[in-house]
Amino acid sequence: MKILCVNSGSSTIKYKLFEMPSEELLASGIVERIGEEVSYIRYRSARGEIRRTGRVRDHEEAFREALRCLMDPEKGVIKDPSEVRGVGHRVVHGGEKYAKPVVIDEDVMRTIEELSILAPLHNPANLAGIRGAMKAFKDAVHVAVFDTAFHATLPEEAYLYAIPYELYEKYRIRRYGFHGISHEYVARRAAEILGRPLEELRIITLHLGNGASAAAVKYGKSVDTSMGLTPLEGLVMGTRSGDIDPAIFYFLMKQEGMSADEVYELLNKRSGLLGLSGVSNDVRLIWEEFKKGNRRAELAFRVFAYRIKKYIGAYAAAMGGVDAIVFTAGIGEKSSEVSSYIRRLVCEGLEFLGVKLDEERNRDPEKYGYVISSDDSRVKVLAIPTNEELMMAREVYRILQRGSC
Ligand code: ADP
C-alpha cells in the first residue's frame, strides 16, 4: 500500500512516498518558493532525479507538480494517482481536540482553521496543503497527523500556566508542545536500539533543528515539553528566543516604542542563535565564525547548550530519574564537528546524573549504532536521525488497516 506523507509550509511542500508496511521509501520531493516568480521543483526516486524550475502559483499547483514527478514515465514510481491510498498531512496545531491522527473531513478542516489563532504561521499553510493534495489525490484517504498530539498526555501541572484559570477556560491558553511526531519517533527508536521496552524507560528527547524543543517521555508518554502555547517557548532556537522573562515584552514596548507585532517578530525572527551570534541562525555558519575566535559565536553556543542542560535537569526531576537522552534533528543528530561540539557542551557536567559521553562515538554516532555514551554510562545518550514522515506513514497505515477490518 502506497502512502504519501506531506509537510506543507507557507511557500514549500515536502513529501515522501512509502510502500507500507515494508516502510520502503519509494520517492521524495520538494516544491519550494510557491507563489514566487521562480519556483524550484525537486524529486528523487531509485529511478533518478528530477530538477526543474517554473512558476508554481499555489499549493494546488505544487501538488500537481509533485504528482507529475511521481508519475514521470522514466523516473516516476506510480502510473495513476489512485495508487496512493493514503496521504498523511503534518498539522502543527491540533489544540485540545486532537490527541490522535484523524481522517480529514470538512469538520476537521474547519477546526484546523479555527486553531490558526494559536498557530498563525503554520495552520493556514498546512490547510492550503491539505486542500491542494485533496485535489491531486482525490481517491486517497487524507489524514491529519498533529505535532501537538503526542503531548496530549501532559498532566495539568505541566500544561497549565500560572495565570488566571479563567483565561485557560476562555481561550484554552496552556502548554501544548510541538515536534510531537519527532519526539515520539525517536523515543521509540531509542527503546528499539537499546533493546528495552519503551514502557520501562524515562527518556529525554531533544529535537534540535531550526526550531528546537525538549520532551520528557516517561514510560512511552510525554509528561512535559518545552514549547508552549506556541513554538516560541523553551529552548534557544535558530531565530526564536525560547524562554524569556515575559516582562521583556513590556519593556521593549515601553522603551523602544515597539508595537506588540514588532516585539513578537523580534522574538520569533531576530532572536535565538541569530540574535546572540549576529552571524546566522545556521549553526554551520556560526561554527565557522567560532573557529575564527568570534566571541559572540561562542556565546551563542554556550547559551544554547546551557538552556538544554537546564531542561535535562528539570525533566530528570519531573520523571524521578532518566534512563536515556536522545539528540535528534538537523543540529542534534549529525556527525559534523559542530553537532559533536554541541552535544559535548550539553553533556559536560551531567556526570552527577550518570551521563558519560564517549568522545569517539560522539564524533560519528551512526558508526556506533547511534549510542554515544560510554558502556559504563548509567544514562544512555543517543544521537538518532528523526523521520517524521515515516512516523506519519505508520499512523496513516494503521488508520487504513483499521478501516478495512
Ligand atoms: P527544521 O527545524 O526546519 O525541520 P532541521 O531539523 O533540518 O530543520 O534543522 C535545520 C538546522 O540544522 C540548520 O539551520 C542547521 O543549523 C542545522 N544543520 C543542518 N545540517 C547540519 C550539519 N551537517 N551539522 C550541524 N548542523 C546542521
Please spell the DSSP secondary structure of 154-211, one letter per residue.
--HHHH--SS-HHHHHHH--S---S-HHHHHHHHHHHHHHHTS-GGG-EEEEEEESSS
Query: In the chain, how many domains are there?
Result: 2
Let me know whether 221 and 134 are in one domain.
no
202-208 and 221-225 as β-strands: parallel, antiparallel, unpaired? unpaired
For 299, the 3-state DSSP assignment is helix
**Inside any domain, residue 351:** yes
Let me know whether 378 and 284 are in one domain.
yes
Cis bond upstream, residue 21 (ω within 30)? yes
What's the mean pLDDT in 116-127?
Answer: 89
d(CA 56, ligand 1 centre) in Å:
26
If you average pLDDT over every residue of the chain, what do you get?
Answer: 96
**Inside any domain, residue 96:** yes
Angle at 201 between CA 199 and CA 205, to 5 degrees: 115
- Mark which of 119, 146, 173 sits at the end of a domain: 146
Given a cut of 70, is residue 178 above it in pLDDT? yes
What's the mean pLDDT in 370-392?
Answer: 97
**Inside any domain, residue 162:** no
Choice between 163 and 9, residue whose per-residue pLDDT is larger = 163
pLDDT of res. 305: 98
pLDDT of res. 405: 44
Let me know whether 366 and 241 are in one domain.
yes
pLDDT of res. 263: 97
- Mark which of 146, 174, 209 sits at the end of a domain: 146
- The H or E element spanning position 78 is none
Query: Considering only CA atoms, which residue is closest to atom 15 of ligand 1?
Result: 282
**Inside any domain, residue 401:** no
Domain ranges, residue 353 = 197-388
Let me know whether 142 and 202 are in one domain.
no
Let me know whether 279 and 356 are in one domain.
yes
Cell 520532551 sits on residue: 215
Given a cut of 70, is residue 287 above it in pLDDT? yes
Q: What is the pLDDT of residues 2-18, one digit of tens each?
A: 999 999 998 999 999 99
Let me know whether 339 and 274 are in one domain.
yes
What's the mean pLDDT in 226-231?
Answer: 95
Let me know whether 217 and 337 are in one domain.
yes
Let me know whether 290 and 142 are in one domain.
no
Let me know whether 110 and 206 are in one domain.
no
**Inside any domain, residue 174:** no
Tell me which residues have their CB closer than 6 angstroms to ligand 1: 209-211, 238, 281-284, 329-331, 334, 336, 338-339
Categorize the per-residue pLDDT at 62 as very low, low, confident or very high, splitting at 50, 70 and 90.
Answer: very high
pLDDT of res. 117: 87
Q: Which of 334, 335, 391 to mutate to test the pocket of ligand 1 (most atoms within 8 A of CB)?
A: 334
Let me know whether 221 and 133 are in one domain.
no
Q: Which atom of ligand 1 is nearest to the CA of 286?
A: 16
% residues pLDDT > 90 (the chain): 97
CB 87 within 8 A of CB 6: yes
**Inside any domain, residue 213:** yes
Let me know whether 239 and 354 are in one domain.
yes
Q: What is the pLDDT of residues 79-88, one digit of tens each?
A: 999 999 999 9
Q: What is the pLDDT of residues 198-215, one digit of tens each?
A: 999 999 999 999 999 999
Q: How far apart are CA 5 and CA 8, in angstroms?
A: 10
Q: How far apart are CA 4 and CA 29, in angstroms?
A: 11
Q: What is the pLDDT of residues 291-346, one digit of tens each?
A: 999 999 999 999 999 999 999 999 999 999 999 999 999 999 999 999 999 999 99
Query: Is the Cα torsion angle 280, 91, 126, 229 positive or negative in sign?
Result: negative
Burial 184-209 (b: 16+ CB within 10 A, else e): bbbbbbbbebbeeebeebbbbbbbbb
Let me know whether 132 and 225 are in one domain.
no
Q: How far apart are CA 42 and CA 37, in angstroms?
A: 17
- Strand order from edge to edge, sheet including 24-32: 48-54, 39-45, 24-32, 13-19, 2-8, 84-91, 141-146, 102-103
**Inside any domain, residue 165:** no
Residues whose CB falls within 8 Å of the CB of residue 7, separated by 6 or more in sequence, listed in order: 13, 14, 15, 90, 129, 388, 389
Given a cut of 60, is residue 228 above it in pLDDT? yes
- Return the DSSP state at 3: E
What's the mean pLDDT in 46-55?
Answer: 96
Q: Is 147 a catalytic residue?
A: yes
**Inside any domain, residue 186:** no
Angle at 238 between CA 119 and CA 132, to 5 degrees: 40
Tell me the CATH number at 225: 3.30.420.40
Report residue 381: phi and psi, to 5°.
Answer: -115, 130
324-328 and 202-208 as β-strands: parallel, antiparallel, unpaired? parallel
Given a cut of 90, is residue 403 above it in pLDDT? no
Q: Which three cell numbers stand for residue 390?
A: 515515516
Q: Which atom of ligand 1 is nearest to the CA of 287?
A: 25
Query: Considering only CA atoms, which residue is closest to atom 7 of ligand 1?
Result: 330
Given a cut of 50, is residue 63 above it in pLDDT? yes
pLDDT of res. 404: 58
pLDDT of res. 10: 86
